[in-house]
Amino acid sequence: MRKITVLLISISMLLVSGCWDMREINELGLVMAVAVDKSTNYPNNYLVTVQLANPKGGGATGQQSSAPTGLWIAEAEGKTIFEAIRKIAQSSSHRIMWAHNNIIIIGESLAQDDITPVVNFFTHNYELRMKTLVAVGKGKAGDFLTATVGMGDVPGLSLSDLFRNQQFTGQGLTSTMLRIFEKFTSETTNPIMTALSFSKVITQPGVLDKAENTQKQIRVEGAAVFDETKLLGYLTPEETTGLSWILGDNPNTVISVVDPEIPVRATAIEVSNVKHDITSQFNEGTLIPKINIRITGVGKLSEDHFSNMSITAYKTRWEALLNEQIARQVEQAIAKVQKEYQSDVLGFGDIVHGQHKTEWHESIKNNWHNVFTEAEVNVEAYIDIQSSALYQLPFYNYKARGSAYDHD
């Protein structure tokens, strides 16, 4: 009987206790985006800018920034990132909550100096998701929190959508805090992040380019290459596309392929189901590795080219041109990071380590930086065009051969 009584009391306490630390949504300031810069006033300080959703929609602003309606933007300086965030919290009437943060933008000057404090703070923040996007902003990172992103009203949310949409162009990388942390702690692989910049967009096509007819928009501008914790430089969007074939960020993209024999028109081929396989080997008598990269996928004709070839010849021709173009694009991008930046952002060191442990520990590990720059890279692409358009008469042929289809 005593046990039953204790059980009933315990159940009653659970039913009436409720959530002691529950907060209503209008009591929270939900972080949408955060930017971290070096202070211009004190070189060793940090300038942190946060963009928060304002539940009351009053459009209030922080210390010095203007914000779209429904957002609150504030910035503060501190000797540490945490101190700056605490100062922002002191001027906020809502408890700042980080769980909904979409993106962390690192200012260019801070990235050139050292990103360690940023990685350190945000990987220790228990509210932050490790899949939060991370990017380097060309210029001041805080400026990106007040700029326009496409048709979106909330830059933080729109930036995350912009990242996802870049997968279809192949000109951006999905850099998350988890990926950055993995490369940050790797013995051989260096971080690579998406780079952001500004561009002018004409809001009224056909109208002369006047100040009132242009808008400053955020755009993905290739990738930022690091040597351990410091920014070395940038890759162009085209070079970033070359790396994305082997970094797993090219699930579906469209490539314009030109036939050198008829350069006036291009054929658009949509490539999907992209996979890559990377192996390494040593030529006899040397410990300089040869990296072999094999890229596979499926191609679909989106815009076809004028041709009188048979189906088999047409497929063979365009597969060869497509595969040659992809391989060349990958090789050029690899040459940029290997020869100019001399930074292994591709994970080649991890591959050689995993496939040749004895040679790695005996001769390569402590000299990987120099070995990487000398490694031979061979790239082969095998995209199989399976489009049903192969069995249709190319559009440009209809006009030339239209009389053949006239039946009076």
Does residue 13 register a pLDDT over 60? Answer: no
Domains located in the chain, CATH noted: 23-235 (no CATH), 248-408 (3.30.300.210)
Give the pLDDT band (50/70/90) at residue 92.
low
pLDDT of amino acid 250: 63
Nearest-angstrom CA–CA distance, 32 and 9: 44
Q: Residue 401 CA to chain centroid, in angstroms?
A: 46
Lookup: tokens for 309:
């070839």
CA 16, 55, 66 angle in degrees (round to 5)?
155
Nearest-angstrom CA–CA distance, 341 and 231: 10
77 vs 207 pLDDT, higher one: 77
Span 102-130, average pLDDT? 91
Does residue 342 register a pLDDT over 50? Answer: yes
Lookup: tokens for 293:
């990269």
pLDDT of amino acid 284: 82
pLDDT of amino acid 152: 57
Nearest-angstrom CA–CA distance, 143 and 165: 22
Does residue 222 register a pLDDT over 80? Answer: yes
When mean pLDDT is compared over 67-81, 337-351, 377-391, the highest value belongs to 337-351
Question: CA gyration radius for the chain?
Answer: 27
Mean pLDDT of the chain: 80
Q: What is the pLDDT of residues 171-213, one digit of tens each?
A: 678 889 999 999 988 889 999 999 999 876 655 555 555 555 4
Nearest-angstrom CA–CA distance, 269 and 243: 19
Q: What is the pLDDT of residues 133-145, one digit of tens each?
A: 999 999 999 999 8
Does residue 298 register a pLDDT over 90? Answer: yes
Q: Residue 147 CA to chain centroid, in angstroms?
A: 19
Report the sign of the C-alpha dihedral through residues 73, 77, 82, 83, in that order.
Answer: negative
DSSP E strand stretches across 285-364 = 289-303
Q: What is the pLDDT of residues 255-294, one digit of tens each?
A: 888 888 777 778 888 898 899 999 999 988 888 999 999 9
Burial of 313 (0-12, 13-18, 19+ CB in 10 A): exposed
Distances (CA, A) of 165 to 159, 173, 223, 234: 10, 11, 15, 20
Nearest-angstrom CA–CA distance, 323 and 257: 10
pLDDT of amino acid 174: 81
Does residue 233 register a pLDDT over 90? Answer: yes
Q: Residue 144 CA to chain centroid, in angstroms?
A: 16
3-state secondary structure of 33: strand
> What's the length of the chain?
408
Unique residue bearing structure tokens 């041709």: 307
Q: With CA atoms as reference, report the closest residue to 150 among 253, 72, 52, 219.
A: 219
Q: With CA atoms as reference, report the closest residue to 304 among 397, 383, 169, 403.
A: 397
Span 220-249, average pLDDT? 91
Does residue 12 register a pLDDT over 90? Answer: no
Count CB-CB contacts under 10 A for residue 292.
Answer: 15
383 vs 407 pLDDT, higher one: 383
Span 302-315, average pLDDT? 73
High-pLDDT (> 70) share of the chain, %: 73
End-to-end CA distance of the chain: 100
Nearest-angstrom CA–CA distance, 2 and 110: 66
